[in-house]
C-alpha cells in the first residue's frame, strides 16, 4: 500500500513551505497555523439552516459552543451530535473545525453542538475532559429547549477530539450520566502510555507523514501534568479495564498515521467487550485527513462515511 496521489501532493506542498515544526513555535502561532491550514484546505463549507454562538456553564467558568441547525425542526426534535475538535489538546477551535461540524449537521441531519473546550498548556488535563463532559450534561438538560431529542445524543471527534469522545462515553457510563447513543472516534488518541505494541508510532512517526512522534511527545508534555496522568482513563481511554456497556461505536483510522495501531487496538477491545463497533481504515492517507478534504478527496469520503453512520445511528426507527 502507498499514499494516494493527492495525499502525497499535500505533504509535498507542506514540505515545500519550509516552515518550522509546530513544537518549535510559540503557542499562539501554533494555534494560528492549525486554524489557517484547516481553513485553507478544508474545501467548500456546506450550507446549514442556522448557526448560533453562545456560552454555557462548565463548573466555575463558562465555555463557548457553536450550535448548527441543519433545518427547521418544525416540531420534530432533532438528534444531537456533540463535536469535539482535534488539535493535540493545544490547538484547534470552533473555526478550525467549522467545516466538519457543518458537514455532520447537514449530512447526518442533526443538531451539532461544537464544544470550545479549554486548551493546554494554560489549562492542562483534566480541563478539556471536564469541559467536554459539562457540555454533554448541558446538551442533555437543555435539549428540549433547543428543539432536540435528549434520547438521541452522539459524540464525535478527531484526534484529541476522538480521545475526548471516548472519554466522555466512559464517564457517562461510569457516572450514570446521560445515555449516549453512538460514539464516532476519528483517528483517536487512545493511549498516552509508551507501548511497543503500537508499531505505527515508529513506522510513521519520523516526520514524513504529517504527524510525527516528536509532535505527539510535545502535545503530551503540554497536556499532561505528570507521567502518572497517562494511566488515568480520563487521559488514556485505553487504560480503562472495563469497556463493556459503552455506546455503539465507529472507529476510523488512517493507514499512514502514527496513531493507527492504538485506534485499531481500541476498536478491538470494544468488540471484545461486546460493544457493537465498526472499524474502518482509510489505507492511503495520513492523520487529520478529514480536515483537508479540499486537498485530499479521501477526506471528503471520510466525512461522508462518518456522517452516514451518525445519521443511521440517530435516525433509526424515527
Could you give the residue numbers annotated as active site?
159, 257, 287
CA separation for the pair 81, 180 (Å, rounded): 10
Burial of 16 (0-12, 13-18, 19+ CB in 10 A): exposed
Distance of CA 187 to the CA centre of its chain: 8
Q: Which of 256, 238, 251, 252 minimizes the C-alpha distance to 194?
A: 238
- HEC string for 7-52: HHHHHHHHHHHCCCCHHHCCHHHHHHHHHHHHHHHCCCCCCCCEEE
CA separation for the pair 280, 264 (Å, rounded): 9
* 139, three cell numbers: 446538551
Helices (H), 195-240: 200-203, 213-223
Rounded to a whole number, what is the largest CA-CA distance in the chain?
53
- Strand boundaries in 179-230, DSSP class E: 182-186
Whether 311 and 60 have beta carbons less than 8 Å apart is answered as no
The total number of residues written for the chain in this structure: 318
Amino acid at each position: 500500500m502507498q499514499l494516494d496521489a493527492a495525499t502525497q501532493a499535500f505533504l509535498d506542498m507542506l514540505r515545500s513551505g519550509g516552515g518550522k515544526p509546530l513544537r518549535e513555535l510559540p503557542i499562539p502561532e501554533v494555534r494560528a497555523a492549525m486554524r489557517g491550514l484547516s481553513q485553507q484546505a478544508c474545501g467548500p463549507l456546506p450550507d446549514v439552516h442556522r448557526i448560533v454562538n453562545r456560552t454555557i456553564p462548565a463548573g466555575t467558568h463558562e465555555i463557548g459552543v457553536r450550535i448548527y441547525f441543519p433545518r427547521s425542526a418544525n416540531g420534530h426534535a432533532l438528534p444531537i451530535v456533540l463535536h469535539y475538535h482535534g488539535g493535540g489538546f493545544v490547538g484547534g477551535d470552533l473555526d478550525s473545525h467549522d467545516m466538519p461540524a457543518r458537514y455532520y449537521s447537514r449530512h447526518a441531519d442533526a443538531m451539532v453542538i461544537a464544544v470550545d473546550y479549554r486548551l493546554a498548556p494554560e489549562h492542562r488535563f483534566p480541563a478539556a475532559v471536564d469541559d467536554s463532559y459539562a457540555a454533554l450534561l448541558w446538551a442533555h438538560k437543555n435539549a428540549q429547549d433547543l428543539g432536540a431529542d435528549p434520547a438521541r445524543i452522539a459524540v464525535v471527534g478527531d484526534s484529541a477530539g476522538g480521545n475526548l469522545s471516548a472519554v466522555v462515553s466512559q464517564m457517562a457510563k461510569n457516572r450514570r450520566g446521560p445515555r449516549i447513543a453512538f460514539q464516532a472516534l476519528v483517528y483517536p488518541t487512545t493511549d498516552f502510555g509508551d507501548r511497543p505494541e503500537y508499531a505505527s508510532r515508529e513506522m510513521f512517526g519520523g516526520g514524513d507523514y504529517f504527524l510525527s512522534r516528536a509532535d505527539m511527545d510535545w502535545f503530551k508534555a503540554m497536556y499532561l501534568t505528570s507521567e502518572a496522568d497517562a494511566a488515568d482513563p480520563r487521559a488514556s481511554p485505553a487504560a480503562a479495564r472495563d469497556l463493556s456497556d459503552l455506546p455503539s461505536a465507529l472507529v476510523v483510522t488512517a493507514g499512514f498515521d502514527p496513531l493507527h495501531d492504538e485506534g485499531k487496538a481500541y476498536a478491538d477491545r470494544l468488540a471484545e467487550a461486546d460493544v457493537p463497533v465498526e472499524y474502518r481504515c482509510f489505507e492511503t492517507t495520513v492523520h487529520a485527513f478529514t480536515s483537508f478534504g479540499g486537498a485530499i478527496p479521501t477526506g471528503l469520503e471520510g466525512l461522508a462515511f462518518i456522517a452516514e453512520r451518525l445519521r443511521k445511528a440517530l435516525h433509526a426507527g424515527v
